[in-house]
Structure formats: structure tokens, C-alpha cells
């Protein structure tokens, strides 16, 4: 038995480095490396937040979001975070846009629950209009693909799905940061 894992590429490819998530999942889907474990679905959501929200209602055990992440580091720096319900707060849901925090925070209103969630983010250099990643962010894509593969292998391992933390307990948020 394997866990169902959704790998979601998030971002607008018409805004430079904001297209990091879609580029990583595109490379992951075409990577000649070993196949991903069964039960893993890789999707480029772009800016379709409602689509992601409804897909999460299918009952995934884990979610890996891949996105540009304004963590304050140098452009191209990767950050891996585990995100729980207490990390999200509230956000206004926009059915025509993609704010991952709002999508995940409002999942309960649609009848869903937040699965075990990780973010693989990359500090952008430029998110102005334009197609294509900057050199620093493009150089981080292969490392991000490797990081997502490692997460997916761990998250999809056989065994019962992780139990969400009780609502009253704060969710731990371990963070790792790597420079590319």
C-alpha cells in the first residue's frame, strides 16, 4: 500500500521566476530518472487555485507544493517547509486566481482537510512580466526536482497516512534552506 501524493506546480509562467513551480513539475514529468511511485500525481496548476482545491477533495494523503517562495534569501535559494493548518491563518479565497495559502486555508469550507503538506520553494530574482526563468532560478530547477523526488519517495512509503495534529496543538514547521 502506498500513500496518495499530489505534487502541485504553482505559478504564473508569464511573470518570470513565478513560473518556477510549473517548470519543476514539467521537468519532473519528463525526467528520465526512475519512475515516481504509484499513487503519485504530478500536476501543473499554474494559477488555477480552484482546480487545486477541488483536486485536494479527492483525499490525498500528502501534498507537495512547488512554487516561487519570497523567503528573503538569495535568488535561486531553495527552501523546504512543512506546513500545517496553524501556519495558514485565514485568507480570502479567489476562485479565479492562485494564492496557495488561501486555497489551503479555505479547504475546510469545501468539505476537505489539509493533508500532510510540504512546500519546495525557490527565492525569485524577477517576477515582472516576461516569459522564462532568470539564470539563478533556472539553475535551481534540477536540485528542486531531486528534492521533490526525495520527498515523494518518503511521503508515498507504505503505511498508514499520517494523523493530522489536533486543532489546538501548534503544527511544527521544520525548515531547511539550501543555496544553489
pLDDT at 176: 44
Average per-residue pLDDT for the chain:
82
Q: What is the DSSP letter of 8?
A: E
* Cell (9 digits) for 32: 528520465
Distance of CA 20 to the CA centre of its chain: 11
Express each pLDDT in 34-43 by its tens digit.
Answer: 889 989 999 9
SS3 109: helix
Statement: the pTM of the whole predicted model exceeds 0.85: no
Cβ pair 43, 6 in contact under 8 A = yes
Express each pLDDT in 101-137 by its tens digit.
Answer: 777 777 777 888 889 999 999 999 999 999 999 999 9
pLDDT of 168 over the 60 cut:
no
User: How far is residue 125's CA from residue 128's CA, in Å, rounded to a whole number?
Assistant: 9
pLDDT at 174: 40
pLDDT at 119: 93
Direct distance between the N- and C-terminal alpha carbons of the chain, in angstroms, rounded to an integer: 35
pLDDT level of residue 1 (50, 70, 90 thresholds): low
User: How far is residue 79's CA from residue 70's CA, in Å, rounded to a whole number?
Assistant: 10
Cβ pair 118, 81 in contact under 8 A = yes
Amino acid at each position: 500500500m502506498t500513500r496518495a501524493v499530489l505534487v502541485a506546480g504553482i505559478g504564473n509562467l508569464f511573470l518570470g521566476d513565478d513560473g518556477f513551480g510549473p517548470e519543476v513539475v514539467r521537468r519532473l514529468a519528463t525526467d528520465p530518472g526512475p519512475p515516481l511511485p504509484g499513487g503519485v500525481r504530478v500536476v501543473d496548476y499554474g494559477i488555477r487555485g480552484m482546480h487545486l482545491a477541488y483536486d485536494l477533495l479527492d483525499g490525498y494523503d500528502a501534498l507537495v507544493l512547488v512554487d516561487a517562495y519570497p523567503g528573503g534569501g538569495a535568488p535561486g535559494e531553495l527552501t523546504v517547509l512543512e506546513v500545517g493548518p496553524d501556519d495558514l491563518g485565514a485568507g480570502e479565497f479567489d476562485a479565479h486566481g492562485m494564492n496557495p495559502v488561501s486555497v489551503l486555508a479555505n479547504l475546510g469550507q469545501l468539505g476537505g482537510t489539509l493533508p500532510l503538506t510540504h512546500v519546495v520553494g525557490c527565492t525569485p530574482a524577477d517576477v515582472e512580466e516576461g516569459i522564462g526563468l532568470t539564470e539563478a532560478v533556472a539553475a535551481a530547477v534540477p536540485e528542486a526536482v531531486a528534492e521533490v523526488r526525495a520527498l515523494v519517495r518518503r511521503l508515498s512509503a507504505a503505511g498508514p497516512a499520517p494523523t493530522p495534529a489536533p486543532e489546538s496543538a501548534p503544527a511544527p514547521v521544520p525548515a531547511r534552506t539550501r543555496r544553489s
